[in-house]
Amino acid sequence: QVQLVESGGGSVQTGGSLRLSCAASGASYSTSAMAWFRQAPGKEREGVAVIYPGGGNRYYSPSVKGRFAISQDNAKNTVYLQMNNLKPEDTAMYYCAAGIPRWVPVVPPRSDFSDWGQGTQVTVSS
């Protein structure tokens, strides 16, 4: 099991940037894929980005590809989501997740992730 704590959310204007952090602890961290999901009011939780163990394989949803970047610092057991050129439609609660999903070249579904953080709010105003 992995314990996850997100931080870094906030309010920005269109075109701005934020960096989310997810501090992880637990024995399974080193073998887990780490992902970011988001959920806007009234919408389904959607996968944003995933990074597989070793950091070599990273995938993004089409809506954020080219604007967001996922990375991890294993020395700090922390996963980051750098978000640039933010748009109002990026407004959502962002969640960090850990799990051992089957490998696919896209962000796996939420059902593949067993551990979740409490979320951090991102609001983008026009």
16-43 pLDDT tens trace? 999 999 999 987 777 889 999 999 999 9
Burial grade of 91 (CB within 10 A; 0-12, 13-18, 19 or more):
middle
Report pLDDT digits (tens) over 92-105.
999 999 998 888 88
Report pLDDT digits (tens) over 39-94.
999 999 999 999 998 888 999 999 999 999 999 998 999 999 999 999 999 999 99
Burial grade of 94 (CB within 10 A; 0-12, 13-18, 19 or more):
buried
What is the distance between the alpha carbons of residues 112 and 107, in angstroms, rounded to a whole number? 10
